[in-house]
Structure 1
């Protein structure tokens, strides 16, 4: 699927066991990158690696918890020279502001914000030491552009992702590290379904509210991520790139 070239480069993808992260890891491998797939569930990572190898790619699985700094440091340390990092690890927990459990609220921020910060911290350090690189963070149109009832914790965490991305981008660009945030709308993954919804109900809900009348495929998000990571986007720094079918417009 790729029109971009990453031969001779090493790419790290967190949250690569499923969904958007898996599609991005596969796309990077198809484009020639040696791809390190990371996440908490080893069996899912192995499935991603098997797909990569089936298409002739090179994959390494590393179990890692992005909320634990020692785990993140060990992960990045195994990669060696790092040219591209895509931080796709994330979680969604819903609830009204006056009803949400404090532990659930904290968990959303622990994964989506602290996990992202720790990942960037060690990725940037490694990239600075080897001449630069590109980081693509996976945010969301919710928080970056719009909000939804019962999605306060998630929206706030993704707004923080966008802000943290911009700050890190300004700090790191002089060292040759280029950072941006990709902000998808509804994507064809289980995370896009509300409690009690099946895929058909989700599709009908999105079709009724989204100008494009559908959810995005994970391959569409992967294509945008590869573009942001490629030299074609070399002058794009510290931006939210929204890919949501017109929902935030």
Structure 2
């Protein structure tokens, strides 16, 4: 077991599956004591059990991150269990079936904004309060390559939420850098997750078409993104803040 995060606590939201679960397991394998937060109780508890089987330390808290009460409770769970909150990865997010902008429903728009943007804001609000009280910490937010470039996929609503995360990350980083809090974002390309499977099954694209969005022609795995979250929350990135790091096989370079 690596000691990158030895003695540190970490809150990972949306950690019941996919990138969040991979990140929680990676942080625990590198010494972090992890709080797994998700609205999906069964999946969240399975992530905790996997961490414990591997010799790591983790607890689960059910949290709907669109709720201020739940967002605050997730942070409190870390403090109650481990005494402080050193790292936070705000990964919880959703996608909707792709639609042209003029066909997006108000309900779909509101749901995406509530989870992907408001949820990150609420999480940061309470994480930052705790980190200010204890003298510092690191935060890494889940954004997307869709928040950096325009994509012809019928995801203008999703892109708007991820662009909002990028902008909020940049501004918050400047706001809190002198108080010892570093804040960055990760912008993945197309990752092999349950969300991708849903998009493929919904007819948005085939797996081959999804891979072809990357200049490399290959899809990302959850661990590829988890590695970047790990780097941004570690001392190896101590001089990096306010950045949105694209992990996208060159997708945003064109």
Scaled by the length of structure 1, what TM-score is found?
Answer: 0.95
Q: Matches of 1:4 and 1:134 in 2, distance apart?
A: 17
Of stretches 230-239 and 186-195 in structure 1, the one that deviates more from structure 2 is 186-195
Q: CA deviation at 1:130?
A: 0.6
1:14 maps to: 13
Q: Matches of 1:207 and 1:167 in 2, distance apart?
A: 33
Q: How does 1:16-95 map to 2 (within 5 A)?
A: 16-80=15-79, 81-93=84-96, 94-95=98-99
**What is the DSSP-based 3-state SS (H/G/I as helix, E as strand, rest coil) of the residue aligned with 1:224?**
helix
**What is the DSSP-based 3-state SS (H/G/I as helix, E as strand, rest coil) of the residue aligned with 2:55?**
coil
CA contact 1:92–1:154 (8 Å) conserved in 2: yes
Q: CA deviation at 1:77?
A: 1.4
- CA deviations on 1:119-152 (whole Å, 9 max, x unpaired) are 0000001011111000000100012233333101
**What is the DSSP-based 3-state SS (H/G/I as helix, E as strand, rest coil) of the residue aligned with 1:13?**
strand
> Could you say what the CA RMSD is over the residues aligned between the two structures, in angstroms?
1.7
Scaled by the length of structure 2, what TM-score is found?
Answer: 0.93
Distance 1:3 1:147, change over 3 A: farther
Q: Matches of 2:221 and 2:30 in 1, distance apart?
A: 19
Q: CA deviation at 1:229?
A: 0.7
Q: Matches of 2:42 and 2:145 in 1, distance apart?
A: 30
CA contact 1:194–1:202 (8 Å) conserved in 2: no
Distance 1:195 1:34, change over 3 A: closer
Q: Matches of 1:195 and 1:86 in 2, distance apart?
A: 24
Q: CA deviation at 1:115?
A: 0.4
Q: Matches of 1:87 and 1:163 in 2, distance apart?
A: 15
CA contact 1:145–1:248 (8 Å) conserved in 2: yes
Q: Which runs of 5+ in 1 are unaligned?
A: none
Q: CA deviation at 1:209?
A: 3.2
Q: Matches of 1:209 and 1:23 in 2, distance apart?
A: 23
CA contact 1:16–1:22 (8 Å) conserved in 2: yes
